[in-house]
Amino acid sequence: MEPISDNRPFVRIYKKGQEPDDVLYWLSRPAIERIRALEEIRKQYNDWKYGTERKFQRVYKIVKRKRERYGAR
């Protein structure tokens, strides 16, 4: 029987001062995993800062029009 693989998070306990460097950990991860983690952090921050309700942003467009001269033909 093969062991069941699960993707549950796990905890490692380190003594103070012997913690691994986070930068080295993230550099060892594949680029797609780093991007996904960054996107999750960005989403959590935006939910905290702006709430979970999504709204459309207003879009403005400035159009320069040629001035018409009145009375001239």
* Higher-pLDDT residue of 35, 61: 35
Q: What angle do CA 43, 26, 39 make, to 5 degrees?
A: 15
Measured CA to CA, the distance from residue 21 to residue 44 in angstroms comes to: 23
Biggest CA pair distance of the chain: 93
CA torsion angle for 27, 29, 34, 35 (degrees, to 10)?
Answer: 120
Model pLDDT, residue 31: 95
pLDDT tens digits along 6-58: 777 778 888 888 888 888 888 999 999 999 999 999 999 988 888 877 677 77
Model pLDDT, residue 58: 78
